[in-house]
Structure 1
Amino acid sequence: MTAPESFQRARMSRRTLLRGAAAGGVLLGGVALPTTAAHAAPAPRCYTRAEWSARPPRSATQVIGKPDHIVIHHTASANVTDYSLAAAYRVQHWIQDLHMDDNGWIGIGNQLTISRGGYLMEGRSKSLSSINNGQNVLGAQTANHNSHTIGIEHEGLYTTAAVPVALFDMSVLTCAWLCTKYNLDPHAAIVGHRDYNATQCPGNVFYARLPELRDRVAAVLEG
């Protein structure tokens, strides 16, 4: 689950920084940007806020510059076996209610959500239009690092449970699309929530698969 905005800042792991240095690009804020143009990954189907009937934000969403890291989260919710689009909409409403009503945020904290059935949905207001314009929106998904990151929630709890194939495959496509939009090297830019904050998110199982996620995204970008 995304951390409350009051969490203390955690230092990025040295491993993450070294990963960026080893990527062979130009270092910028710990991220090695590709030195050559990558294959343009297409945008996956993303269900808009209007489609899943989002509540309006309490105040205006701030559009900011492009991020330098993609943060992988899990929702820490039940590992449901209903993989339908209707179930995806339900979890998105659950996240929004939690973030707005319990956490007191202006809206849903993360920019994107992927359901266990592999459906990609828009999170915080203006996220999709901002991504398409090479920008981002200020979220509330990674405490003290929201100004330079974009967050993807993945439905479920992955401390011991396996990650569903459909969810992981959509994460690959989504990260490849974001890396294309923001000209990011996946080996340096894709990180787990725990790399920044004191949290178990995105769970030990999902976190252990981040190297695979980075490699598969890189393969997409190589065409």
Structure 2
Amino acid sequence: MTAPENIQRARVARRTLLGASAGGVLLGGLAAATLPTAAHAAPAPRCYTRTEWSARPPKSATQVIAKPDHIVIHHTASPNVTDYSLAAAYKVQHWIQDLHMDTNGWIDIGNQLTISRGGFLMEGRSKSLSAINNGQNVLGAQTANQNSHTIGIEHEGIYVTENVTVALFDMSVLTCAWLCTKYGLDPHAAIVGHRDYNTTECPGDVFYARLPELRDRVAAVI
């Protein structure tokens, strides 16, 4: 075989290998298409830590638990403010924590993550961010009787009759894609509304009606 023929065969073999890998050739008994890869991993969005928004310390130790199997979408039922700044995001996060700790009597803010109307993502309950990055979760207080296997995202505002902001919805897509990647979840099965578990209007009729769109967009990202 001549040198040009060797080069051509090598090129064909390389293209064949790459094409087969992308299409699902078996590797170690599993289809390659089912294996998570860096190319398909959703990057972590910018998340403002508890230190950054000056969270109060929890009343007692936070419990780190196994990874969740569902992502619960909430709204805060607070006013739909038009101040979309980071300062406003910090303000609503303090309001949530004070409500949960002082009125509800919980050890800390109940949810693991919060997204403001300006699209800022913030860490909620203590140790949430480190737990997520390690493929774990923290025991929250965001979905009654379902906290042992769920992670909750609060979305600032009330969406019974009004729509969510573009910035909030876009960040929800990125956040859910990141969580689905971290936990190996199917967004069409994993992303649910608070009302799917408890008797509540949360996350509001308008936002709830957009959950199919949220799931589809997350799936497109990952």
What TM-score do you get using the length of structure 1 for normalisation? 0.83
1:108-136 Cα shifts (integer Å, max 9, x gaps): 00000000000000000000000000000
Aligned pairs (5 A) from 1:195-214: 195-214=196-215
2:148 alignment partner in structure 1: 147
Whether 2:54 is the aligned partner of 1:53: answer yes
Equivalent position of 1:218 in the other structure? 219
1:73-98 deviations in Å (ceiling 9; x for gaps)? 00000000000000000000000000
Find the aligned partners of 1:208 and 1:122 in 2 and give their Cα distance: 26
Rg comparison, structure with higher value:
2
Aligned residue number for residue 127 of structure 1: 128
- Give the helix-richer structure, 1 or 2: 2
- 2:105 matched residue in structure 1: 104
Please give the alpha-carbon distance, in whole angstroms, between the structure 1 residues aligned to 2:206 and 2:166.
Answer: 13
Deviations 1:5-37 (A, max 9, x none): xxxxxxxxxxxxxxxxxxxxxxxxxxxxxx813
Aligned-partner residue type, residue 97 of structure 1: D
CA offsets 1:120-161 (integer angstroms, 9 cap, x no match): 000000000000000000000000000000000000000000
Residue 182 (structure 2) aligns with: 181
State the partner residue of 2:161.
160
Q: Secondary structure at the match of 1:218?
A: helix
Q: Distance in 2 between matches of 1:137 and 1:61?
A: 7
The question of 1:74 aligning with 2:72 is answered no
CA distance in 2 between counterparts of 1:218 and 1:108 reads 29
Task: Name the amino acid aligned to 1:99.
Answer: H
CA distance in 1, matches of 2:69, 2:158: 26
Q: Matches of 2:187 and 2:215 in 1, distance apart?
A: 5
Give the aligned partner of residue 21 of structure 2: none
Query: What is the rounded CA distance, in whole Å, between the counterparts of 2:67 and 2:156 in structure 1?
Result: 25
Which structure is richer in relative contact order (CA contacts within 8 A, separation 6 or more)? 1
Count of residue correspondences: 187
Structure 2 residue aligned with 1:36, among 34, 37, 58?
Answer: 34
Distance across 1 between alignment mates of 2:146 and 2:116: 24
Question: Shift in Å at residue 201 of structure 1?
Answer: 0.2
Task: Specify every segment of 5 or more residues in structure 1 that has no aligned partner in the other structure, as ranges.
Answer: 1-34
2:69 counterpart letter in structure 1:
D
Structure 2 segments unaligned to the other structure (5+ residues):
1-32
Partners of 1:143 and 1:149 in 2: CA distance:
10
CA drift of 1:197 comes to 0.2
User: What CA distance in whole angstroms lies between the structure 1 residues aligned with 2:49 and 2:61?
Assistant: 18
CA offsets, 1:151-175, max 9 Å, x none?
Answer: 0000000000011000000000000
**Which aligned segments of 4 or more residues in structure 1 are displaced greater than 2 angstroms?**
none
1:139 corresponds to which letter in structure 2? G
Structure 2 Cα separation of the partners of residues 219 and 47 of structure 1: 25
Counterpart-to-counterpart distance in 2, 1:202 and 1:80: 17
Q: What secondary structure does 2:34 align onto?
A: coil
